[in-house]
Structure 1
């Protein structure tokens, strides 16, 4: 157990909660700055936007850093309370473990982007049908029990903290970060799938989805947010046949990146 001076709400407790949250928010802010300066103003384009696998994975990891870390700050703060020594360095390892999961997820994301990029060059009706399928898959998953289970773990991670404190050895922080990252991946992959329709590097879509992810995990009505987004995605699966520009990443619409 972590000992705090000044009582549960004293200055030491406040600093303990704020430090890891501040670390993650600073890293996320730096990632957003890079994305805006690198991709801001570019139109949403289908597929990988011409990036090779290494460049795509680097950009993907920065995207996940920007989009996911803000919603992870409460868990990081809670995990920090289980650490009694070398807190800063160990929280860095925890964060690295978390981001490694999303970096690895970039490999199937790249393969999907390549395939869907080719679909964007098919006749317009085919591209629209693929976009509808992407919206439908993402929407259906948002309404499944598996989504609810993963989201519940992200929203109420006390049980996970008990598990993490039982991890032995020097790999504890890396394993804890990766384990939590796996639950976040299970919770949010359907939202990332929507980037295929909106355009992988579409900054407007990234900002909107980051807001949804944060609301799902932190808002009191987070489960309702998840279900609302699922229903909206199913509605988009129908609407895209009349308004193909809703899916510029697959239909060549004119939505700009930011």
Structure 2
């Protein structure tokens, strides 16, 4: 819209070696982020709310989590975009452009992190003041996730994430200034539209619940890259609706709502029961 386009000449492809390096770098960053996330989760545990974190610390941790969870599925798009970087460019220029793409992508998820922080702060306060509200909050989160998985916005965004080539080709004709950053943001917004429902289930399951994070990351990866991804998306949506109902079943609350269950107060010393 209103952009001045450059020549429509097709850009040269990156050498296979450079593409392999880009893949390995994305995987390495995701692996490092997982290691940091697991270590942090071990120290913090699973609790309601923001777990006492201020906004800057939470966003830093959230950014590491997004790198861990999203980079495996966004790597193909990043590498596809890298194919459009001219072979004649220096390695430093290519690295800078790829970094700009990834930065734009992460800016979108960091902004969503502010929304997540607000939700966690609100739900944490509600659970602290009204412990019985946890099952209602959890049921709402699972129901919203299920409806989002089955809704039209999910289909539109998932189609883009599974086949982004047409949009990337459109961006390739735009003037270079900040183009890579804008492309990353654009793809990040489609990715957010595709995955926000999956992310909000971490409110009841626990933001620092490593098993839940791994399961969500696995669904995201398969949705975008597996040939049966769209069918998996619908199955996950139905499953979330079932989990919304199970939030009101006593035994299920222990494993469905750890992120909405206030920790029990420590028992007071029983000195009065000791023998005189």
Tell me the residue number matched to 1:82.
84
Which has the greater radius of gyration?
2
| Alignment match of 1:184 (pick from 188, 191, 201) | 191
In 1, Cα distance between equivalents of 2:155 and 2:22 = 26
User: 92, 102, 105: which one pairs with 2:112?
Assistant: 105
Which of 235, 247, 266 lines up with 1:240 in the alignment?
A: 247
Q: Which residue of 1 aligns with 2:165?
A: 158
Measured against aligned partners, the alpha-carbon deviations of 1:78-125 in whole angstroms (never above 9, x if no partner) come to 101111122222111111111111111111111011011112224443
| Equivalent runs, 1:109-124 vs 2, <5 Å | 109-124=116-131
Quote the residue 1:200 is aligned against. Answer: 207
| Aligned-pair CA distance for 1:43 | 2.9
User: Which deviations, in whole Å up to 9, do the C-alpha atoms of 1:165-218 show, x marking residues without a partner?
Assistant: 022132011101111111101100111101111111111111111111101111
The answer on 1:134 being equivalent to 2:141 is yes
SS at match of 2:53: coil
**What SS is found at the alignment partner of 1:40?**
helix
- The farther-off stretch of 85-94 and 213-222 is 85-94
Question: Paired residue for 1:70?
Answer: 72
1:55-90 Cα distance to aligned partner (Å, 9 max, x none): 111111111111001101111111011111222221
Q: CA deviation at 1:16?
A: 4.1
- Could you tell me which residue of structure 2 aligns to residue 55 of structure 1? 57
Aligned residues: 247
Higher deviation after alignment, 172-181 or 122-131: 122-131
Asked if the contact 1:121–1:127 (Cα under 8 Å) also holds between the matched residues in 2, the reply is no
Task: Give the root-mean-square deviation of aligned CA atoms.
Answer: 1.7
Residue in 2 aligned with 1:7? none
SS in 2 for 1:209: helix
Residues in 2 aligned to 1:31 and 1:166: alpha-carbon distance in whole angstroms: 34
Indicate if the aligned counterparts of 1:128 and 1:251 stay in contact, CA closer than 8 A.
no
Which residue, 18, 21, 27 being the options, matches 2:20? 18
For residue 227 of structure 2, the aligned residue among 209, 212, 220 is 220
| Distance in 2 between residues matched to 1:187 and 1:91, nearest whole Å | 22
Q: Equivalents in 1 of 2:263, 2:135: separation in Å?
A: 11
TM-score, normalised by the number of residues in structure 2: 0.85
- For structure 2, the residue ranges without an aligned partner over 5 or more in a row are 1-9, 265-276
Cα distance in 1, alignment partners of residues 27 and 168 from structure 2: 21
Could you tell me whether the CA contact under 8 Å between 1:44 and 1:200 is conserved in 2?
yes
Bigger mean CA offset, 106-115 vs 160-169? 160-169
Aligned match of 2:42: 40
Unaligned runs of 5+ in 1: 5-11
Taking the aligned partners of 2:25 and 2:96, their CA distance within structure 1 comes to: 11
Moved more, 80-89 or 233-242: 80-89
